[in-house]
């Protein structure tokens, strides 16, 4: 079932879902999970099986977040995404997200792709900051500046 089909055409603006808010909450949730991952990773740094499982889990959450964001964005714009595109956004976002951007926005999709690139930079920044703050607060060996003086 599609969100676009679930909202009646004659609904008042107050009754329609706030997709913009949902999109921002989705991005915030993804960043929160990435930040938490940066903290938890320090406690299991020596365990290779944890590293593989945690990396896979975080990647699935990030891909799911991108897909959910696209779902809310499409609903906000009244665009219906096909099944193949939804699956491809999860499995291969590097290709499918630009396709989605250009289908929903035309040439102004370049702006959305730029915003997506900034979001991925934010993911790395949040992970690094969370990891660094945890290192400093918990007294882990500091890979950035060496032992404390």
Q: What is the per-residue pLDDT for 34?
A: 96
HSE at residue 129, side-chain half, CA atoms within 13 A, is: 10
26 with 97: CB under 8 angstroms? no
Q: What is the predicted pLDDT for the residue at 50?
A: 87
Report yes or no on whether pTM surpasses 0.85: no
In whole angstroms, what is the distance from residue 77 CA to residue 104 CA? 8
* Residue 42: predicted pLDDT: 86
Burial environment of residue 131 by CB neighbours within 10 A (0 to 12, 13 to 18, 19 or more):
buried
Q: Is 8 helix (H, G, I), strand (E, B) or coil?
A: coil
Average pLDDT value over all residues in the chain = 86
For residue 20, the model assigns a pLDDT of 92
Do residues 59 and 149 lie in contact, with contact meaning Cβ atoms separated by under 8 Å? no
Q: What's the pLDDT at 138?
A: 87
Mean pLDDT of residues grouped by 10 in the chain (149 residues)? Answer: 47 68 96 95 84 91 94 92 89 91 93 95 96 88 63
């Amino acid at each position: 079932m599609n969100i676009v089909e679930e909202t009646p055409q004659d609904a008042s603006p107050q009754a329609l879902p706030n997709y913009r808010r949902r999109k921002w909450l989705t991005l915030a949730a993804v960043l929160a999970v990435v930040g938490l991952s940066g903290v938890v990773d320090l406690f299991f740094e020596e365990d290779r099986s944890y590293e593989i499982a945690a990396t896979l889990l975080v990647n699935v959450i990030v891909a799911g977040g991108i897909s959910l964001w696209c779902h809310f964005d499409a609903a906000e714009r009244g665009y219906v995404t096909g099944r193949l595109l939804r699956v491809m956004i999860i499995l291969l976002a590097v290709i499918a997200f630009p396709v989605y951007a250009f289908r929903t926005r035309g040439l102004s999709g370049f702006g959305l792709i730029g915003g997506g690139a900034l979001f991925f930079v934010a993911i790395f920044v949040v992970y690094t900051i969370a990891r660094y703050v945890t290192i400093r607060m918990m007294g882990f060996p500091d890979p950035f500046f060496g032992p404390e003086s």
